[in-house]
Structure 1
Amino acid sequence: MMRAPGKSSRTLAMATAGMLCLVLAGCADESSASSSSGADSLKGDTVKIMVGGLDKVIYLPAVLTQQLGYFEQEGVTVKLLTEPAGVQATTALISGDVQGVVGFYDHTLDLQVKGKQVESVVQLAQTPGEVEVVSKEAASSLTSPKDFKGKKLGVTGLGSSTDFLTKYLAVKNGVPVSDVTPVAVGAGQTFVTALQKGSIDGGMTTDPTVAQILAKDLGKVLVDMRTPDGSKAALGGLYPSSSLYMNTNWVNSHKDTVQKLANAMVKTLKWMSEHSPEEIAAEMPADYAKGGGKELYIKSIESTLPMFTKDGVMPADGPRTVHDVLKSFNPNLKSATVDLEKTYTTEFVKKTGS
C-alpha cells in the first residue's frame, strides 16, 4: 500500500479510491445481477460461488442454472465469479472470499491431505471433459502421452486439474513426472495463441477451445476424455470432475442454503438431459459463442454433454478412480490416508426428488 502524507483529506480520498477499485474489481468477473456486497455474503441466502472459467462448457451447468432462473426460484441469491483455473478458485474458497466453487472434485482429495476439509455437494460431471491436443507442427513427434518427455505441455495453471491429469497420463505411459514440462497458459484464446506461436507443443483444454482449435486446423486430438468411454480408456474408470464443492464446516452450518443450491443445480442437470444442444446454447449468454460463432458453440456443447450427470449424484466408483490417479504421481497422496467418504456427500442431491 502507498504511504500517504499526513493530511487527513488526502488519506480519506485514497481510502475511498482504494475501496472503489476493490468494488470495481469484484464486479468485473461477476455474472450475477445481484447487488449484494461481500460483507453480506453470509447473510440470508446470498452465496458467492467461484467458477474455474465461466465460459467453459465443462462448467456450463452453473451459468445455465442462473440463466434458467432456478436459483431465484429456490429463493437463494447467487453471485457467480470467475477465475481462469480451478486452483485459484480453490484458494478463494479456503481464504473465505467465496462460499463455494464450481470446479474439479479432485481438489477435495488434495486439500484433505493438506488439512482442509472440503466436500462436493453436487456432482455435475462423471468424466473430466478434458482433451489433450497437439499442434500441427508437433504432431509428428507427439503421437501419444508416451512422447510427453521434453515437450512443452499447456495446462490452465500449475496445481490445476489439467496439471494433475497431464502428469497422470505421463506416468501411466512410462514418462516420469520430472520429465514433464507443464506450461501455465490458461484457457480460451490464451491457450490457442500459445499453441499457434509454439509456446506449447500441445496441452489439455476443454470446449469451446477444443472446437476452435479443430475448426482453425491448428492441431488435433490426442486423448479425448469428454465421454464415459474416453474417461475409462484414459484413466481406468469414470473420473468425477465438475462439481459444486464447499467447506464442510460451512455446509454443516448452512444446510438449508446448500439444499436450495442442490435443488436448483439438479433441476438444471435434468433439464439439460431433456433438451438439445441448440436449446441449451440458446439459454446461455450470447457472448459465450463469440470465440467461434454460434454453430461452433453448439457443437462444443454437443461434444461435452456426455460428461454430465443427470441427478448430481457421485458415481459409485468415481472417488476411487480419482484417488488412484492422484496417488500415481502426487507424493502427498502416496503416503497419506484419504477418507474418500468425507470428500463428497449425496445428502442434498438425494433430497431433491428428481
Structure 2
Amino acid sequence: MTVTRRELLKLAGSAGVMSLAPAFARAAKLEKTKVAIAVGGKALVYYLPLTIAEVRGYFKDEGLDVTIADFAGGAKALQAVVGGSADVVSGAFEHSLNLQSKGQFYRNFVLQGRAPLIGFGVSTKTMANYKSPADLKGKKIGVTAPGSSTNMVVNFFLAKHGLKPSDVSIIGVGAGAGAITALRSGQVDAMSNTDPVVTALVSSGDMKVIADTRTLKDTRDIFGGNMPAGTLYTAQSYIDANPNTVQALANAIVRADKWIQKAGIDEIAKTVPSSYLLGEPEVYKAALKASLEGLSPDGIIPEDGAATAVKALAAFVPDFDPAKVDPSKIWTNEFAKRANEKYPNG
C-alpha cells in the first residue's frame, strides 16, 4: 500500500501536480525572502515550534527574513492575513475549513501541534460547586479571542452536553498574564486556554479542568479522531506564487518540531524568551510536560484530521454546511515530507 502511494505521488509529480512543493535537492531560489507571520498568542506552548524556529535561527538558515506579529488570538491573526498585513498564519488548522465555506481558499502546509493543547476549566471560587456542564449556563467564559480555537473547544463541549453557545457569555481575555488575572479576579467564571496559562491556574488552585485536549487520548475521546491544531497556513494563491518560500518555512518548522522532541523540558525552558515563563519557571516546565505529547514530532498532518475538523465545525458553527467544503483542499503534507527528507534527524 505504501509503495503504491509513493508511485502515485511520483506520477502526480511528473504531471506537474507536485510543483506545489519542489524537491529540496533543487537549489531553488526563494520567490520572497521577507515573510510576515501573524500568530495569536506567540508565548503559548501551542506555538512553541514557531518560537524555536525563530530563536534557533532556522528561518534564517533557509534564507528567510521572518517578522512575527503577535495578536490576542488566532482569529485576530487570521484577520491580519486576510486583510493583507501578513503573509502566513501560525494558527489553528480548522480555521481554513471555515474560510473555504465562505469561498476563501487557504491551505495548511506544516503541523506544529497534533492536539489542540487546550484546557477548559471552571473557577474554584465562582464555580466551587460545579457538578455538571449544565452549571455553565449563564456563566462568563474566557477564551483567547472570540472565534479562536479556544472558543471552538468551548462550543464543542457545550454541544456535546446539550447546551448552545448562546447559553453562555464568551469573553476574549488573551493568552498570557491577563487571562490568568481575568479568572482569578472573577471577571470570568470559566476559562478555555492553552499552556502555560492552564497549568498556572491549575497549579495555584484557581481552576479545575473539565475538558482537556493536551493529550492524544483525550483529544480523540472529545473529537472522535485526530484533531490537528497549530499549523502554518496561507492562501492557496500565495502557495502557488511562492512554492519555494513556503518550502523554506516548512523546513524551519519541521526542524523546530524535531528539536523540541529531543531537547527536553529544561533545555526548552532555557531557550524560549524569559517572558514566556510568566515569572514561574517551574510552572512553565510543568506546562511543557503536560503538552509535549500534543506537539507534532515531524510536521506531518494526520490523514483523518480534516474529517475530524469538519465534524467539529458542523457541531457548533452556525450555517456551516459540510457538503459545501472539500477537506482535501485545506491541507497538504508534501512540503513537510520534503522537509523531513532534508532534515531526517532535525
TM-score (norm 2): 0.86
Runs ≥4 residues deviating over 6 A? none
Question: For residues 300 and 335 of structure 1, do their structure 2 counterparts lie closer, same or farther at Cα, with a shift above 3 Å needed?
Answer: closer
Letter in 2 for 1:265: I
Letter in 1 for 2:205: D
Question: Greater relative contact order (Cα 8 A, min sep 6): structure 1 or 2?
Answer: 2
Return the match for 2:307 from 288, 310, 320: 320
Corresponding position of 1:154: 142
Alignment of 1:1-354 (within 5 A): 44-289=32-277, 291-334=278-321, 336-352=323-339, 353=341, 354=344
Measure how far apart 1:216 and its partner are.
2.2
Asked if 1 retains the 8 angstrom alpha-carbon contact of 2:120 and 2:193, the reply is: yes
SS state at 2:138 partner: coil
Letter in 1 for 2:201: I
SS state at 1:44 partner: coil
Letter in 1 for 2:88: G
Indicate the structure (1 or 2) with the bigger Cα radius of gyration.
1
Measure how far apart 1:254 and its partner are.
0.3
Measure how far apart 1:115 and its partner are.
1.3
| Residue deviations 1:140-170 (CA, integer Å, cap 9, x gap) | 4433434322221111122111112211110
Measure how far apart 1:336 and its partner are.
4.6
CA distance in structure 2 between the partners assigned to 1:209 and 1:274 by the alignment: 24
Asked if 2 retains the 8 angstrom alpha-carbon contact of 1:125 and 1:308, the reply is: yes
Gaps of 5+ in 2: 1-29
CA distance in structure 2 between the partners assigned to 1:188 and 1:100 by the alignment: 22
Asked if 1 retains the 8 angstrom alpha-carbon contact of 2:265 and 2:285, the reply is: yes
SS state at 2:319 partner: helix
SS state at 1:331 partner: coil
Corresponding position of 1:26: none
Question: For residues 141 and 334 of structure 1, do their structure 2 counterparts lie closer, same or farther at Cα, with a shift above 3 Å needed?
Answer: farther
Measure how far apart 1:243 and its partner are.
0.4
CA distance in structure 1 between the partners assigned to 2:137 and 2:163 by the alignment: 6
SS state at 2:320 partner: helix
Letter in 1 for 2:196: P
- Stretch moving more, 200-209 or 177-186: 177-186
CA distance in structure 2 between the partners assigned to 1:131 and 1:252 by the alignment: 36
Asked if 2 retains the 8 angstrom alpha-carbon contact of 1:113 and 1:332, the reply is: no
How many residues are paired up? 312
CA distance in structure 2 between the partners assigned to 1:226 and 1:302 by the alignment: 10
CA distance in structure 1 between the partners assigned to 2:167 and 2:56 by the alignment: 46
Letter in 1 for 2:241: S
Gaps of 5+ in 1: 1-41
SS state at 2:142 partner: strand
Percent identity, please. 35
CA distance in structure 2 between the partners assigned to 1:143 and 1:188 by the alignment: 28
Question: For residues 214 and 72 of structure 1, do their structure 2 counterparts lie closer, same or farther at Cα, with a shift above 3 Å needed?
Answer: same
Letter in 2 for 1:317: D
CA distance in structure 1 between the partners assigned to 2:118 and 2:313 by the alignment: 16
TM-score (norm 1): 0.84
Measure how far apart 1:312 and its partner are.
0.8
CA distance in structure 1 between the partners assigned to 2:141 and 2:308 by the alignment: 23
Letter in 1 for 2:207: G
Measure how far apart 1:187 and its partner are.
2.1
SS state at 1:274 partner: helix
CA distance in structure 2 between the partners assigned to 1:157 and 1:207 by the alignment: 15
Asked if 2 retains the 8 angstrom alpha-carbon contact of 1:212 and 1:292, the reply is: no
CA distance in structure 1 between the partners assigned to 2:334 and 2:322 by the alignment: 30
SS state at 1:311 partner: coil
